[in-house]
């Protein structure tokens, strides 16, 4: 269930010429590990996840995701930046989409979806369309959809980026609780350094475009973690400063480039 | 006692709600009808006072008489039957082909690259100018008229369904692929519903084009159909018949458009039917 990435690079051909989104990237994630990726905007984080999800081909390099032998679960499920709930489906159909694609019976889909929706406090809204829900509820539904797929690897692209602070805290707790109960390998992209520290076992820090890995640091905080009043203030503060120091110049130069 | 009073109050509340609903729809109808009534009343007065030519602008009362007459002797129904057959036949044939081709072109880049230059070349040609060519190919019978209406219905449907697919956010294709959807499933679950709002506005444009072309080809050729009725009235200078035909066309157009709007609002609950109504 681990991930092995070797010299992965991606160059996009667009009308304005070629864009190198990802320089050679190599890293490994062990089974059941929670790894965050932080880096300036446009450094290729989404591109990396999309390659791992099998949605686009890398230009160079290779990757491998070890799958438990003989299971019928999907290898990966992605929580997309901006949720990706289908506007034309209600929550039931949205969250049950993966099961439906695998040919499950409607009754089976309904009972499983209602189960996961109630875990996320959404069972009353199963007949609602996404535009009838708040941003936080939509985000929870996107998580529910990915968790219901029960993949070996969860690829999460800024899943809490668009939320207010309270909803975010709630969903972070929710994510950790579910992960603790049902361990998966998680690759979690975020632009929030503190979020990365509080949630992950390890943080991969990327440079501005084309994205390279500039640092790979362990987060030695104890688990289970208290997100509201973390005990190890000092360590957290120290890590935050360290990561920001590494990122600051990258973020600045990528902002100047985009001006 | 207390209990009974509460119940009757509740009933009162419900009744007043019904009354309010009825009143609201009456107001809506009045808003549409009043200006029309006013228009016809002024016309009637001006015409009776012979301030305008009776030949060009016969009094509404005389148009009504004619309407009544052609309804009773069955000629209007006969014209209407032919027009509707051509209109709907062409709409369904041309619309269906346009829809399938448009969705496919929106979805499959190779097909789009292949067909786009052809569409770009043919689309700007006024469709009625093709009538002589169609007559040469399909003869003077009914087929030519239906082919013409189909061509008219085809293009708006094609353009709108293609645009509908192309404006679908690519993220939905990614989600579908990530959850293991096959090509057929992607078509049914993403391409079709994702482009539905645009398809539905295509349906309306298509319908209006079908009405337009039907009237044009009927004016040019044949003795049956609302277009023919208009042309015949001009040739015999029976203007009340001309106005009767125009009023019928206006009513048909309004009814068809309203029906499509209603269907659209039902089919696209996630879109508030915004883009469809406009
Ligand atoms: N399909 C594409 N075609 C051309 N260029 C692309 C494509 N997808 C991404 N890019 C480019 O690749 C670079 C990396 O994009 P990516 O979305 O991976 O960045 P990101 O790190 O996820 O940024 P953000 O933090 O803003 O989400 C960007 O410059 C982007 O413009
Ligand atoms: Mg991104």
Q: Percentage of chain B surpassing pLDDT 70?
A: 92
Are A39 and A95 in the same domain?
no
Q: Answer with the one of A150, A182, A201 that is the final residue of a domain.
A: A150
Which residue from A84, A102, A129 is facing B171, i.e. has the nearest CB? Answer: A84
Lowest mean pLDDT of A149-153, A234-238, B3-7, B77-81, name the range.
B3-7
Q: Does A72 touch chain B if contact means CB atoms closer than 8 Å?
A: no
Are A144 and A157 in the same domain?
no
Which of A47, A87, A143 is best to mutate for the B interface (most B CBs within 10 A)? A87
User: What does chain A come to in residues?
Assistant: 259
* B17-26 per-position pLDDT tens digit: 788 888 888 8
Most confident of A218-222, B37-41, B211-215: B211-215
Are A123 and A15 in the same domain?
no
* A187-212: average pLDDT: 94
pLDDT at B2 > cutoff 60: no
pLDDT at A239 > cutoff 90: yes
Instruction: Please report which confidence band the pLDDT of residue B57 belongs to, taking 50, 70 and 90 as the band edges.
Output: confident
Q: How many CB pairs under 8 A join A and B?
A: 57
Q: Is A47 in the pocket of ligand 1 (CB under 6 A)?
A: yes
Domain count, chain A: 2
pLDDT at A175 > cutoff 60: yes
Which residues from chain A sit within 8 angstroms of residue B180, using beta carbons? 74, 98, 101-102
Q: What was the pLDDT predicted at B272?
A: 52
Of all protein residues, whose CA lies closest to atom 6 belonging to ligand 1? A12
Instruction: Please report which confidence band the pLDDT of residue A85 belongs to, taking 50, 70 and 90 as the band edges.
Output: very high
* A175-187: average pLDDT: 90
* B87-146 per-position pLDDT tens digit: 999 999 999 999 999 999 999 999 999 999 999 999 899 999 999 999 999 999 999 999
* A204-220 per-position pLDDT tens digit: 999 988 899 999 999 99
* B49-70: average pLDDT: 88
Q: What was the pLDDT predicted at A162?
A: 80
Could you state, in order of their start, the residue ranges of all structural domains in chain B?
1-52, 60-277
Closest atom of ligand 1 to A44 CA is: 18
pLDDT at B278 > cutoff 80: no
Lowest mean pLDDT of B36-50, B82-96, B231-245, name the range.
B36-50
Lowest mean pLDDT of A64-68, A164-168, B240-244, name the range.
A64-68
Lowest mean pLDDT of A71-80, B6-15, B192-201, name the range.
B6-15
Taking CA–CA distances from B270, the nearest residue in chain A reads A88
A135: tokens are 């941003």
Looking at per-residue confidence, does B7 or A195 come out higher?
A195
* A50-73: average pLDDT: 84
What is the distance in A from the centroid of ligand 1 to the CA of A43?
7
Taking CA–CA distances from A99, the nearest residue in chain B reads B179
Non-local (6+) Cβ contacts of B34 within 8 A are: none
Q: Answer with the one of A150, A166, A191 that is the final residue of a domain.
A: A150
Q: Percentage of chain B surpassing pLDDT 90?
A: 69
Q: What was the pLDDT predicted at A249?
A: 86
Which residues from chain B sit within 8 angstroms of residue A149, using beta carbons? 179
Q: Answer with the one of A91, A117, A150 that is the final residue of a domain.
A: A150
* B181-190: average pLDDT: 94
Are A176 and A130 in the same domain?
no
Mean pLDDT of the residues in chain A: 90
CB atoms B270 and A131 under 8 Å? yes
Which residues from chain A sit within 8 angstroms of residue B172, using beta carbons? 84, 86
Coil, strand or helix at B169: coil
Are A69 and A163 in the same domain?
yes
Q: Does A97 touch chain B if contact means CB atoms closer than 8 Å?
A: yes
Of all protein residues, whose CA lies closest to atom 12 belonging to ligand 1? A21
**In terms of pTM, does the model score above 0.80?**
yes
Instruction: Please report which confidence band the pLDDT of residue B3 belongs to, taking 50, 70 and 90 as the band edges.
Output: low
Taking CA–CA distances from A130, the nearest residue in chain B reads B270
pLDDT at B67 > cutoff 60: yes
State the CATH class of domain B60-277: mainly alpha
* A131-152: average pLDDT: 89
Q: Is A14 in the pocket of ligand 1 (CB under 6 A)?
A: yes
- List own/partner pairs for A124-130 with CB under 8 A and 24 or more apart: A125/A91, A126/A90, A126/A91, A126/A92, A127/A90, A127/A91, A127/A92, A128/A90, A128/A91, A129/A87, A129/A88, A129/A89, A129/A90, A129/A91, A129/B269, A129/B270, A130/A83, A130/A85, A130/A86, A130/A87, A130/A91, A130/A94, A130/B270
* A238-254: average pLDDT: 89
CB atoms A101 and B194 under 8 Å? no
Are A69 and A96 in the same domain?
no
Which of B172, B177, B179, B190 is best to mutate for the A interface (most A CBs within 10 A)? B179
pLDDT at B277 > cutoff 50: no
Are A178 and A133 in the same domain?
no
Coil, strand or helix at B167: coil
Q: What was the pLDDT predicted at B9?
A: 58
Q: Rounded to a whole number, what is the largest CA-CA distance in chain A?
A: 54
* A111-136 per-position pLDDT tens digit: 999 999 998 889 999 999 999 998 88
Residue A238 sits in which domain range? 3-75+153-258
Are A143 and A224 in the same domain?
no
CB atoms near residue B51 (< 10 Å): 9
Closest atom of ligand 1 to A45 CA is: 21
* A4-40 per-position pLDDT tens digit: 999 999 999 988 889 999 999 999 999 999 999 999 9
A31: domain CATH number is 3.40.50.300
Q: What was the pLDDT predicted at B86?
A: 96
Mean pLDDT of the residues in chain B: 89
CB atoms A97 and B196 under 8 Å? no
Distance CA B272, CA A250 (A): 43
Q: Is A10 in the pocket of ligand 1 (CB under 6 A)?
A: no
Q: To which H or E segment does residue B67 belong?
A: helix B60-72
Are A68 and A89 in the same domain?
no
CA distances from A246 to A2, A41, A190, A208, A251 (A): 27, 15, 16, 11, 9
């Amino acid at each position: 269930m681990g991930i092995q990435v070797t010299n992965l690079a991606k160059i996009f051909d667009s009308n304005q010429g070629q864009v190198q989104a990802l320089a050679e990237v190599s890293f490994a994630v062990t089974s059941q590990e929670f790894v965050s990726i932080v880096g300036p905007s446009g450094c290729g984080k989404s591109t990396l996840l999309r390659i791992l999800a099998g949605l686009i081909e890398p230009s160079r390099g290779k990757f491998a995701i070890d799958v438990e032998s003989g299971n019928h679960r999907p290898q990966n499920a992605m929580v997309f930046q901006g949720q990706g709930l289908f506007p034309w489906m209600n929550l039931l159909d949205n969250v049950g989409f993966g099961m439906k694609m695998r040919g499950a019976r409607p009754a089976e889909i309904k009972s499983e979806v209602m189960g996961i929706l109630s875990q996320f406090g959404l069972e009353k809204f199963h007949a609602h369309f996404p535009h009838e829900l708040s941003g936080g509820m939509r985000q929870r539904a996107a998580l529910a959809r990915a968790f219901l797929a029960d993949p070996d690897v969860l690829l999460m692209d800024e899943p809490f980026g668009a939320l207010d602070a309270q909803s975010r805290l709630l969903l972070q707790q929710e994510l950790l609780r579910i992960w603790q109960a049902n361990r998966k390998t998680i690759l979690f992209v975020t632009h929030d350094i503190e979020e990365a520290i509080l949630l992950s076992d390890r943080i991969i820090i990327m440079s501005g475009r084309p994205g390279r890995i500039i640092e790979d640091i362990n987060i030695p905080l104890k688990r289970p973690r208290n997100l509201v009043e973390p005990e190890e203030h000092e360590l957290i503060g120290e890590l935050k400063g360290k990561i920001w120091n590494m990122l600051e110049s990258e973020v600045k130069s990528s902002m100047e480039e985009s001006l | 006692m207390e209990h009974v009073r509460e119940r009757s109050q509740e009933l009162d509340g419900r009744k007043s709600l019904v009354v309010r609903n009825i009143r609201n729809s009456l107001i809506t109808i009045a808003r549409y009808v009043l200006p029309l009534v006013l228009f016809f009343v002024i016309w009637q007065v001006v015409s009776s006072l012979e301030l305008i030519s009776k030949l060009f602008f016969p009094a509404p009362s005389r148009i009504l008489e004619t309407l009544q007459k052609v309804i009773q002797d069955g000629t209007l129904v006969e014209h209407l039957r032919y027009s509707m057959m051509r209109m709907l036949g062409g709409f369904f044939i041309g619309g269906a082909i346009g829809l399938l081709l448009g969705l496919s072109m929106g979805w499959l880049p190779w097909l789009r690259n292949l067909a786009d230059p052809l569409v770009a070349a043919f689309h700007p040609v006024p469709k009625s100018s093709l009538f002589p060519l169609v007559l040469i190919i399909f003869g003077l019978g009914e087929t030519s008229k239906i082919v013409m209406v189909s061509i008219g219905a085809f293009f708006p449907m094609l353009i709108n369904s293609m645009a509908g697919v192309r404006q679908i956010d690519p993220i939905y294709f990614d989600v579908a692929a990530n959850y293991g959807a096959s090509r057929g499933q992607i078509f049914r679950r993403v391409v079709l519903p994702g482009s539905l709002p645009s398809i539905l506005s295509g349906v309306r444009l298509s319908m209006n084009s079908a009405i337009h072309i039907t009237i044009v080809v009927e004016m040019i050729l044949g003795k049956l159909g609302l277009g023919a009725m208009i042309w015949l009235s001009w040739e015999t200078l029976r203007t009340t018949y001309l106005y009767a035909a125009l009023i019928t066309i206006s009513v048909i157009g309004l009814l068809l458009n309203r029906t499509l709007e209603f269907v659209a609002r039902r089919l696209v609950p996630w879109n508030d039917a915004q883009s469809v109504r406009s």
